[in-house]
Amino acid sequence: MVPLSYYLILSAILFACGVAGFLIKRNIITIFMSIELMLNAVNLTFVAFAAELRLLSGHVFVFFVMVVAAAEAAVGLAIIISVFRTRETLNVDRINLLKL
Amino acid sequence: MSLHLWIIPLLPLTGAAINGLLGKRFPKALVNAIALGSTAAAFAYALWVAMQFAGLPADQIPHIEHYATWMTAGTFSAEYGIYLDQLSLVMLLIVTGVGFLIHIYSVGYMEHEGGYYRYFAYLNIFMFFMLTLILANNYLLMFVGWEGVGLASYLLIGFWFLKDSAANAGKKAFITNRVGDFGFLIALFLLIKHFGTLQYDAVFKALAAYPVEASAGLLTAIGLLIMVGASGKSAQIPLYVWLPDAMEGPTPVSALIHAATMVTAGVYMVARSNPVFNRAPIALEVVAIIGTLTAIFAASIGMLQTDIKKVLAYSTISQLGFMFMGCGVAAYGAGIFHLMTHAFFKALLFLSAGAIIHGLGGEQDMRHMGGLRKYMPYTFWCMTVATFAIAGFPPLAAFFSKDEILWKDWSTGHHVLWLIGIIAAGMTSFYIFRLWFLTFFGEYRGAPAESSGRGHDGHDAHSHGVPHESPMIMIIPLMILAVLTFVGGWVGIPAALGGADHFDHFLEPVFHSTVEAAPGAETVAAPAESPSEHEDTGTELLLMAISVAAAAIGLFGAWFLYYKRTDLPARMAQAAGGLYTFVLEKYRVDEFYGAAIIRPIVLASTNILWKGIDVTLIDGAVNESAAGAQDVSEGLRHMQSGNIRSYAGWVAFGAAVVIAFMVWKGVR
């Protein structure tokens, strides 16, 4: 059986990749995907602990997170599409009308 | 039995409140009715109290009334209460009586003035505080009255506040008094510290256990500090400078506050504190010396003044000096006796001067008067009574009181003080007759018609070319005061002249009961009652003759210089040269104070306190902390860039720090 720490390390690496992508990338789609990556890294730790501790609540949490992520993807992509329609760019540094 | 003495101070306070708050819309008649009515009622009530007082059994004197506790702090407490003994009764009658007369007079004098209701509100509030001062049964309440009369004095000196000199004179009076109040306050603190109370009866009782101090000690310190306070309020050296300037106020105010009542508060306080002074001979000696020096110093200045009110102001200072001279040889009775006669004759002098100023449309310079005898006969005769009284001619009031003081000086062995006193009395006679001759005799020297436009003393020109007699409402108080000046001294005719000295015996319980409690005080306090009674009477008569002679010399000198040979004074002034100018400029005391005290204080305040401490330190600290906050914010502002990813970066960084901390903790 794969030890718990392997899962946790993998999930930490995935989460770090997500954070790095979120901070570095300018394309809003990529940033969006980075967020998904972070969510799924967290999902991985949830299921890992659930399997390790033989508890169902971890699985339940994962489903919640997936539902939220799906909803978020739907709303987020819709926003991105409308932003692209008006601004004709996906570069977040350009989307700065609200900035002082 | 309660005499409900609280009513007396409350009456003028009510008058002041009504007139002060609502009087602006009142017609003059109503203002008069309220102001005069409340004062008259207070006087009438005081007379009734005096009659009741006469019926009180001896063991109920002092008659003390407690009303309420004012404040309590630890073991110390002060209360509202009234202390009526022979001393406060005399003061009560003087203040309400003379005060009432001056209220009447003011109706005529202030007729043409703006701020009529304000004037009477101030005058009533003065009456209230003065009555509080003399009736209080503890030092703290007395201090309230003490400060209150200072306030009233400030307001009334600066009554014509649009005039710069009046406003400044008001400030000068107030600030000079603060110096004295400082001493008074410290005396109170010492009393609280060592006796734990300020109630007269308790303090005096506690004092009975104290021996007479051979050298300077606690009681000497208290006595000297009380004298500092008294010299502020009663215009003694070195704090007398405010009183001559206080003449900027309306003349009735000068008569009431700066001659008859308020300035005598210091004498009253010293007499009231006689148990302290009787046990502190050094302090007592200082009182006598200050009084004597002030008496001669102010009299010498008064001899050369040309402003009629200034002459009277210096005369007041000098006469107050006489009172302290009396108190300073433990002859408090004589001091208070002179206080009373002085209240009569000085009020009369001031009111007559006011009548003259009024009749001349505001002229105060005696060089522009003269020959007024035929224009204002009533004023002339009233003034004449006062003039002869203050000069010390028998049988007028001041002869008895002044001679009693001088006699007490002599009989307690203060021969030098007596000599100075006699010289001062001669000077008094000279300056007052100089005033008398300059104003009433010779030819009228004022320019007709136009001179009235000068608007001195705030009087507007009510265009009249010739000097005129004042209205009856001003003359009647003059006449009453003239009668009092004439007969007022008869209550204290000394035994040497076949009298019984009723006044002294009346006051005796106040001053002597405490002395008997401490036998050692006898040496200082008791007048020399030597066995050779006849010899004493002989000496007393001789001294009286000398003082009458001094008065006569003053009269003759003034007559010769200012009536007979009017060219002489100018030539003498020429001959005296620098000395003359020096005295004329009041010994340059104001200039000296200006250079020695005021300028350094102003400089230090400007350069150290203002520019140093206030601007650099206090403002600097405030400004620097504001600037520091701005700098910090300027730095932190860059964190809030509006860039979401930088925020996310900060969040990630923070999370990393938290995780690192937890890992580090876990490792440990």
Distance from CA of A24 to the nearest CA of B (A): 8
Selected for mutation to probe chain B from A5, A9, A19 (highest B CB count within 10 Å) is: A19
Q: Does the bond joining B377 to the residue before it have cis omega, within 30 degrees of 0?
A: no
Rg, chain A, Cα only: 17
Task: Give the model confidence (pLDDT) of B625-652 as tens digits.
Answer: 999 999 999 988 888 777 777 888 889 8
Q: Does the bond joining B238 to the residue before it have cis omega, within 30 degrees of 0?
A: yes
In terms of CA atoms, which chain B residue is nearest residue A21?
B645
Residues of B in contact with A23 (CB under 8 A): 645, 648-649, 652
Rounded to an integer, what distance in angstroms lies between the CA atom of residue B372 and that of residue B590? 33
Residues 6 or more apart whose Cβ sits within 8 Å of residue B235: B242, B243, B263, B294, B316, B317, B320
- Mean pLDDT lowest for which of B53-62, B269-278, B307-316, B611-620? B53-62
Asked if A92's CB is within 8 angstroms of B645's CB, the reply is: yes
Contact by Cβ (8 Å): B330, B413: no
Residue A47, SS3? Answer: helix
First CA to last CA across chain A, in angstroms? 54
Which one is predicted more confidently, B96 or B367? B96
- What the block records as the tokens of A67 is 């539902």
Which one is predicted more confidently, B668 or B401? B401
Residue B251, SS3? Answer: helix
CA distances from B136 to B271, B313, B666 (A): 14, 28, 79
Identify the band that residue B75 occupies on the pLDDT scale cut at 50, 70 and 90. confident
Selected for mutation to probe chain A from B645, B646, B650, B653 (highest A CB count within 10 Å) is: B645
Distance from CA of A5 to the nearest CA of B (A): 15
Provide the H-helix boundaries in B158-250.
164-195, 200-207, 218-233, 242-245
Residues 6 or more apart whose Cβ sits within 8 Å of residue B14: B38
Rg, chain B, Cα only: 30
Residues of B in contact with A99 (CB under 8 A): 642-643
Asked if B644's CB is within 8 angstroms of A99's CB, the reply is: no
Which of these, B366, B396, B156, B369, lies nearest to B256 by C-alpha position? B156
Q: Across residues B272-291, what is the average pLDDT?
A: 91
**Residue B188 pLDDT exceeds 90:** yes
Distance from CA of B643 to the nearest CA of A (A): 8
Task: Give the model confidence (pLDDT) of B396-417 as tens digits.
Answer: 888 889 988 998 888 888 889 9
In terms of CA atoms, which chain B residue is nearest residue A22?
B645
Task: Give the model confidence (pLDDT) of B436-485 as tens digits.
Answer: 999 998 888 876 544 444 444 444 444 456 788 888 888 999 999 999 99
Pairing of strands B63-73, B76-84: antiparallel
Q: Counting beta carbons within 10 angstroms of the beta carbon of residue B160, is it exposed (0 to 12), middle (13 to 18) or buried (19 or more)? A: buried
Residues of B in contact with A100 (CB under 8 A): 642
Q: What is the pLDDT of residue B34?
A: 93
Asked if B643's CB is within 8 angstroms of A99's CB, the reply is: yes
Asked if A22's CB is within 8 angstroms of B645's CB, the reply is: yes
Asked if B649's CB is within 8 angstroms of A98's CB, the reply is: no
In terms of CA atoms, which chain A residue is nearest residue B651?
A19
Counting other chains too, the contacts that A92-95 makes at CB distance below 8 Å and 24 or more residues apart are A92/A26, A92/A27, A92/A28, A92/A31, A92/B644, A92/B645, A93/A26, A95/A28
Containing B81, the helix (H) or strand (E) segment is strand B76-84
Q: What is the pLDDT of residue B213?
A: 79
Nearest to A22 among B642, B643, B648 (CB): B648
Q: What is the pLDDT of residue B345?
A: 93
Asked if B644's CB is within 8 angstroms of A23's CB, the reply is: no
Contact by Cβ (8 Å): B330, B412: yes
Phi and psi angles of residue A96, each rounded to the nearest 5 degrees, phi first: -135, 30
Q: What is the pLDDT of residue B536?
A: 78
Rounded to an integer, what distance in angstroms lies between the CA atom of residue B484 and that of residue B347? 11
In terms of CA atoms, which chain A residue is nearest residue B647?
A23
User: CA quadruple B93, B95, B100, B101: dihedral positive or negative?
Assistant: positive
Q: What is the pLDDT of residue B630?
A: 94
CA distances from B336 to B260, B296, B401, B464 (A): 12, 20, 9, 43
Distance from CA of B623 to the nearest CA of A (A): 29
Nearest to B642 among A19, A22, A100 (CB): A100
Residue B629, SS3? Answer: helix
- What the block records as the tokens of A32 is 């969006």
**Residue A99 pLDDT exceeds 70:** no
Task: Give the model confidence (pLDDT) of B512-538 as tens digits.
Answer: 754 444 344 344 444 444 444 566 788
What's the mean pLDDT when you consider all of chain B?
87
Rounded to an integer, what distance in angstroms lies between the CA atom of residue B10 and that of residue A33? 90
- Give B 626-655 residues with CB within 8 A of chain A: 642-645, 648-649, 652
Containing B105, the helix (H) or strand (E) segment is helix B86-109
Q: Across residues B320-332, what is the average pLDDT?
A: 92
**Structure letter (DSSP) for residue A99:** -
Identify the band that residue B543 occupies on the pLDDT scale cut at 50, 70 and 90. confident
Distance from CA of A97 to the nearest CA of B (A): 10
Query: What is this structure's pTM?
Result: 0.79
Asked if B652's CB is within 8 angstroms of A19's CB, the reply is: yes
In this prediction the ipTM stands at: 0.79
Q: What is the pLDDT of residue B453?
A: 40
Distance from CA of B645 to the nearest CA of A (A): 6
Distance from CA of B648 to the nearest CA of A (A): 7
Q: What is the pLDDT of residue B211?
A: 85
Q: What is the pLDDT of residue B528?
A: 42
Rounded to an integer, what distance in angstroms lies between the CA atom of residue B349 and that of residue B355? 10
Using a pLDDT cut of 90, give the percent of chain B over it. Answer: 51
CB-defined contacts A:B, below 8 A: 15
Contact by Cβ (8 Å): B525, B566: no
Selected for mutation to probe chain A from B637, B640, B641, B644 (highest A CB count within 10 Å) is: B644
Distance from CA of B168 to the nearest CA of A (A): 59
Q: Exposed e or buried b for every residue in B461-470, given b needs 16+ CB within 10 A?
A: eeeeeebebb
Identify the band that residue B182 occupies on the pLDDT scale cut at 50, 70 and 90. very high
Identify the band that residue B340 occupies on the pLDDT scale cut at 50, 70 and 90. very high
Q: What is the pLDDT of residue B535?
A: 65
Q: Across residues B173-185, what is the average pLDDT?
A: 93
Asked if B648's CB is within 8 angstroms of A92's CB, the reply is: no
Contact by Cβ (8 Å): B255, B101: no
**Structure letter (DSSP) for residue B392:** T
Q: What is the pLDDT of residue B517?
A: 40
Q: Across residues B594-601, what is the average pLDDT?
A: 90
Containing B64, the helix (H) or strand (E) segment is strand B63-73
Looking at chain B, the number of H-run helices and the number of E-run strands are: 28, 2
CATH number of the A4-87 domain: 1.10.287.3510
Rounded to an integer, what distance in angstroms lies between the CA atom of residue B175 and that of residue B660? 70
**Structure letter (DSSP) for residue B258:** I
